[in-house]
Amino acid sequence: MSAERISIVVDDATRVSGLLQRPAHAHTCYVFAHGAGAGMAHPFMSAVADGLAERDIATLRYQFAYMERGSKRPDAPPLTHAVVRAAVARAQQLVPDLVLVAGGTSFGGRMTSQAQASAPLPGVRGLVFLGFPLHPAKQPSDTRAAHLVRIDIPMLFVQGTRDELADMNLLQPLVAGLGARATLVALEHADHSLHVPVRSGRTDAQVLAQALDTIAQWCAPLA
């Protein structure tokens, strides 16, 4: 389905673009942030939005301010957090009748969780991460996730078992330690981009469908 282009006001000096897709029978809206190196119109972002629309979930994709400016360098956390909050507020205005969940892929998911940990995002009932970036590649650590203990709403981690930015030996106990509010779904053989090698016997489309089915099933009780 087509996406409606919208504008999101962050503050007097900052305005970013967004894309809203609302299927006819939507019950939930996913406020969906992009990764560090690719914006809201990246084919993966579009595929997720289209696939969720088929599962009766609306999406509001949006640009971070640096991406809107055409820069490759992410902004400092205070500004990225402000953009997350502005996008959530815009979603409340545009789809006030839908349940809101927030999150994103990689960097976008982590910025959303940081914003939520700092102060709850109004109206957001859960967080969904598509490839949470637990640490830089080949530098295993869980320090980037220290803020997650301050989040008291449900969280869904959809993660490839071959993700170089999230060692499963670290992520699994971390999610378990968060208790009942956190759920980890491991996608066998998938990397950080949810790509799988041919030898896995699966296709990228099949893995993405599994991820989207998981999100839809997880969101249903919240709605």
Measured CA to CA, the distance from residue 116 to residue 120 in angstroms comes to 5
Q: Specify whether the backbone of 56 is left (phi greater than 0), alpha (psi in -120 to 50) or beta.
A: left
Read off the pLDDT of residues 99-153 as tens digits, 9 standing for 90 and up: 999 999 999 999 999 999 999 999 999 999 999 999 999 999 999 999 999 999 9
Measured CA to CA, the distance from residue 139 to residue 41 in angstroms comes to 30
Measured CA to CA, the distance from residue 176 to residue 212 in angstroms comes to 22
Q: What is the average pLDDT score of the chain?
A: 96
Strands 57-62 and 99-105: unpaired
Look at residue 119 and give its three-state secondary structure: coil
Residue 11 confidence (pLDDT)? 95
Read off the pLDDT of residues 29-46 as tens digits, 9 standing for 90 and up: 999 999 999 999 999 999
Closest CA to 47 of 69, 67, 21: 21
Q: Is the pLDDT of residue 1 over 90?
A: no
Q: Is the dihedral of CA 51, 165, 61, 221 positive or negative?
A: positive
Q: Which domains does the chain have, with CATH numbers?
A: 4-222 (3.40.50.1820)
